[in-house]
Amino acid sequence: MSGGGNRKKNTRSQGWEDAGSDFYQESYPLDPEFEVLQKDPKHLHTLLPSKQTRAAVATIRMRTNDYRSNKSTVRRHTASRTRSRRDSTVHRRTSTIGGDVQLSMLPDLSEMKTNEESAWEEVMRLKELPIPMAQKKEMKNKIMNEPNLRLQGYENFNWKRRKLWTHLEARVREFLQKIELWKGSLRHIEGNFGTGVVAFFLFVKWLFLLNCGMCLLIFLYLTLPTILLDYDKSFNCTDASLACSCTESYFNSSQSENNVVLEVMQGTGFLERTILFYGFYSNKVLSYMLSGVEMYYNIPLAYILVMLACFLISLVLILRSAAKGFKERLVESEGQFYLYCNLVFGGWDFCIDNEKAARTKHKAVYNEIKAALETEKLTEERQGRTRKEQYKILMSRLVVNILVVVILIGCGIVIYYTFDFSTQKIVHSTQEIETNEKLLQLLYEFLPSMVIVSMNIIVPFIFRFLINFEKYTPIVEIRFTLIRTVFLRLASLVVLYASLLTRITCSRPSDRTCTPCNDSPECWETFVGQQIFKLLVTDFGTHVILTFIVNFVRALLAKHLNNKFFEFIGEQTFDLSKHALDVVYTQTLCWFGMFYAPLLSLLAAVMFFFLFYIKKFNCVINCKPSPVIYRASRSHSMFMVVLLVSYLFAVLPIAYSIYELMPSKTCGPFSGENTVWSLVVDLFMSWPEWIQKCVFYLNTPGFVIPFFIVLVLLLYYYSAINSANRHMVVVLKNQLVLEGHDKQFLLDRLSLFIKQENQKRARAEQMRDRDRDSDSRNT
C-alpha cells in the first residue's frame, strides 16, 4: 500500500506494468487475464509462476512450435532417474534456442547435437505428453527429420541392443497377454465386483502357478528319474542290511483288495505304493549309461535338495510379494495419512462396466464415506465414555477372549480324541473286514478330516457372533475375526501334527525290527502323506458341495421366493477373508504334505485350477456384490500375511521331522539313516576340507560376535537416519504451511492494492468528469 502511495499519479497502463514487474520480475504484456483481474482481483493466484508451468501444459497445444522448451516443464514431475539424461537434453535445447552464437562458443559440439539414440529416446518419451495424437505425430516427424549424428562402434551396438531389447520385451508381453490364464473371467469379475475381489482371484492364480512351478521341479528332478530308472521294484538283497530286507518286506507284503474309488479317495491300496507317496522313492544311487559312460543319480540327495528348493522358492516368492504390500501399508499406517483422499480419488474402479455393478459401487462408496465419518465421531465418543462404561466394555472383551480361547482348546481336544478313536477302530478292524463294515471303516478313515473341516465351517460363525459384544470399530472387527479364524485352522493342524507324532513315535520299543513300535504303520511317512491327502480331498469335497449344492440352493431360494425368511438365509455376499482362508488352508496342507507325498503339489495345482472356477461360481452366481469395499492393496497384503503365517506352521514341523525323527526303515529314500539331516551332514563331510573349515569358522565366536555387532550398528544407523528423515518431513511440512500463509498474505495485499488503485482511478475519473462537467458548465 505504501507502493500504492508512490504511484498515485501513474496513469492506468503504467501502474499495471510497474506492479507486474515488481512482483513477478517478468513483465507480462496486457493480457486478457489482466482484464479479468481488474474486475476481480481474487484471480491473482492464477498468475503465480507455479501455476504458469501447469498452464503451459494445458495450453501446450497452442504452441507446438517450441514444444521443446515446454516439454521440460511438462515433464518436471517425472522421476529423478531420468533427470541426468533430461538435464543434458534441456541444456542442448536451450542452446539451440539461444542461437548459433552461443553454440559456437561451446567447446564440445558433438555433445550438443542429437544422436540417433537420444532422438529415439525422445520419441519414446513422447507418449507421456498430455497432448493429442496429431501433435505427437508432428513432433515425432520433427525429431526424426532433424539431422542426427550417427552412433559408432560400441555406442551404436549398445543402442541397437537397447532398441532390440525393448522390441523383444513388447513381443514377449504380447505373447504373455495372449496366453494369459483366465483373462476373460478376471475381466468379468472385475467389471462386476471391483478390484478388491479380483485381488483374491489373482491370489488363487498366483498359488496355482506356484504349485505348478513346484510340481514341475519335483517332477523333473525326482519323479522322472525314478520312473525312468527305478520303476520295477525287484528286490534281490545281496547285502544283508536291515534297511534292504525291510524294504523288500514292505513292497512284497500283500495289499488288501478294496474298492478302487475308495482307494483313490483315501490314498491307500494300490495308490499307496506309487510315485505319489514318499514310500515309493528308493534310497539307492541310481546308475545309468549315457553314451557309454556310467552316470549316477543320487535319489535321496535329490529328494532333500528338491524339497529344500521348493520351500525356499515359496518363501522368497511370498516375501517378495508381501514386501511390496508391507511398504505400502507402512506408509499408510503412519497416522492414517490419506484415508479420505484415497476414498475420493481412488474410490471409483474405472474397470466397472455395467449398470448394476456401478449402482452397487456408488452405494458402497457412499457407505464407506459414511462409515469413515462415523468412525471419527465414534472415536470422539469413545473419549467421552465414562469410566463405568469403559470397565464394562473391558470386561466383556475379557470374557469374550476367554471364551474364544476355551473354544479353541475345546476344538483341539475334540480333534485329538476323534483322531485317537478313529485310528484305534481302524487298527482293530484291519484283521477282518466284512462287506457291511466297509462303510463304517470308511467313516472311521475320514472321521478326523470331517471333524476338522466341519469345525472350520461352524466355529467362525460363533466368532462372528461373539465379536458383536466387544464393540470394536468395523476394521478392527474384521481383523480380529480373521486372526481368530486363522488360529482355529492352525490349531486344528497343530493337534493333527501332535496326534500323528504320537502315532509314529512310541516309548515302547518294538519287537518287530522294521517299525519302531507295534501299532505304528509300516511306513510312517507314507501314512502321514495319506492323512494329508485325505484332508485335502475332504476339504476340496466340502468346497464343491457347499458351493454347488448348499449355497446355490440358498441363492436360488433367495432369488425366486420373495420371502423375508428365505432372503435372510439365502442372500450371501462374497466374504473375502473367509474364502482367502479356505485357499490358504489348502496351500498349507500342500506344503506340509509335500515332503511325505511329493506329487501333492500336482494335486494342489489341479485343485487350485478347479477352485478358481468354484470360487468364481460362488462369487458370480451365488453372491451379491458386497456392500463393503475391498481395497486391492489391503486385501493383497492380508492374503500374504496369512499365507506367511501358515507357511511357518507348515514348515516348522517338517523341519523338526527332518532334523529329529528317524525315517522308517521299510521305505523311502532315507531308510537306514538316523535322521534325514544326517544325509546332508554326510555329504558336507565329503566336501573339500577348506570349505568345511570355512563353514566351521563361520560358527566360531570369532566370527559370530563381530558379525552380530556390525549388524546391530547397521540397524542403529538406519533407525537414526529414519528418525532424522521423519523429523525433516515434519519441519518441511511446517515450512510449507508457512510459505503458503506467506503467499496468501502477499496475494491479499496485492489484491487489496489493486482494488485501491482501481478505486483511485475511478475517483480520479470521477473528478475529471466533474471537472469537465464544471468546465463545460463554465463555458
Partner 1 sequence: MGQSKSQFTEEELQDYQDLTYFTKKEVLYAHQKFKSLAPEKVGHNKNAKLPMSKILQFPELSVNPFGERICKVFSSSQDGDCTFEDFLDMMSIFSENAPKPVKAEHAFRIFDFDGDDMLGISDLKQIINRLTNDNKLNDSEMTMLVQNILTEADLDDDSSLSFAEFEHIIDRSPDFLSSFRIRL
Q: Which of residues 692-751 bind partner 1 (CB under 8 A)?
A: 733, 736-737, 739-741, 743-744
Q: How many residues bind partner 1 (CB under 8 A)?
A: 79
Q: Could you tell me the smallest distance in angstroms from the CB atom of residue 64 to partner 1?
A: 12
Taking CB under 8 A as the binding criterion, the range among 130-138, 293-301, 554-562, 576-584 that sits at the site for partner 1 is 130-138
Residue (331 or 545) nearer to partner 1, CB = 331
Q: How far apart are CA 168 and CA 753, in angstroms?
A: 62
Q: Cell 503339489 sits at which residue?
A: 601
Contacts of 196 by beta carbon, 8 Å cutoff, 6+ apart: 576, 629, 630, 631, 632, 634, 635
Helix (H/G/I), strand (E/B), else coil: 364: helix
Torsion of CA 654, 658, 659, 665, to 10 degrees: 140
Helix (H/G/I), strand (E/B), else coil: 507: coil
Q: Contacts with partner 1 in 44-63 (CB under 8 A)?
A: 45-46, 50-51, 54-55, 57-58, 61
Q: How far apart are CA 349 and CA 763, in angstroms?
A: 57
Residue of 117, 190, 445, 582 that binds partner 1 (CB under 8 A) = 190
Residue (308 or 475) nearer to partner 1, CB = 475
Q: Could you tell me the smallest distance in angstroms from the CB atom of residue 177 to partner 1?
A: 8
Residue (555 or 576) nearer to partner 1, CB = 576
Q: Contacts with partner 1 in 634-653 (CB under 8 A)?
A: 634
Q: Could you tell me the smallest distance in angstroms from the CB atom of residue 726 to partner 1?
A: 15
Residue of 7, 113, 140, 471 that binds partner 1 (CB under 8 A) = 140
Residue (190 or 445) nearer to partner 1, CB = 190
Beta-bridged to residue 293, according to DSSP, are: 290
Give 150-189 as a DSSP string. Answer: PP-HHHHHHHHHHHHHHHHHHHHHHHHHHH-TTHHHHHHH
Q: Could you tell me the smallest distance in angstroms from the CB atom of residue 733 to partner 1?
A: 6
130 binds partner 1 (CB under 8 A): yes
Q: Could you tell me the smallest distance in angstroms from the CB atom of residue 353 to partner 1?
A: 4
Residue (462 or 747) nearer to partner 1, CB = 747
Residue (165 or 348) nearer to partner 1, CB = 348
Residue (79 or 240) nearer to partner 1, CB = 79
Q: Contacts with partner 1 in 320-359 (CB under 8 A)?
A: 325, 328-329, 331-332, 337-342, 344-355, 357-359
Residue of 632, 645, 662, 683 that binds partner 1 (CB under 8 A) = 632
Residue of 63, 363, 392, 428 that binds partner 1 (CB under 8 A) = 363
Q: Could you tell me the smallest distance in angstroms from the CB atom of residue 391 to partner 1?
A: 31
Residue (79 or 101) nearer to partner 1, CB = 79
Give 711-729 as a DSSP string. Answer: HHHHHHHHHHHHHHHHHHH
Contacts of 581 by beta carbon, 8 Å cutoff, 6+ apart: 482, 485, 486, 489, 642
Residue of 216, 323, 373, 443 that binds partner 1 (CB under 8 A) = 373
83 binds partner 1 (CB under 8 A): no
Residue of 44, 365, 371, 557 that binds partner 1 (CB under 8 A) = 365
CA angle 570, 573, 574 (to 5 degrees): 130
Q: Contacts with partner 1 in 571-630 (CB under 8 A)?
A: none
Contacts of 1 by beta carbon, 8 Å cutoff, 6+ apart: 749, 752, 753, 756
The DSSP symbol for 285 reads: E
Q: Could you tell me the smallest distance in angstroms from the CB atom of residue 39 to partner 1?
A: 16
With CA atoms as reference, report the closest residue to 325 among 640, 637, 641, 644: 637
The DSSP symbol for 9 reads: T
CA angle 235, 237, 240 (to 5 degrees): 155
Tally Cβ neighbours within 10 Å of residue 510: 13
Taking CB under 8 A as the binding criterion, the range among 246-254, 367-375, 463-471, 717-725 that sits at the site for partner 1 is 367-375
Helix (H/G/I), strand (E/B), else coil: 769: helix
Residue of 106, 124, 399, 704 that binds partner 1 (CB under 8 A) = 124
x/- binding map, residues 143-182, to partner 1, per CB under 8 A? Answer: ---------------------------xx-xx--------
With CA atoms as reference, report the closest residue to 676 among 696, 694, 660, 693: 660
Amino acid at site 195: T
Question: How far apart, in Å, are the Cα atoms of 623 and each of 465, 554, 588, 617, 667?
Answer: 21, 10, 26, 9, 48
Q: Could you tell me the smallest distance in angstroms from the CB atom of residue 16 to partner 1?
A: 22
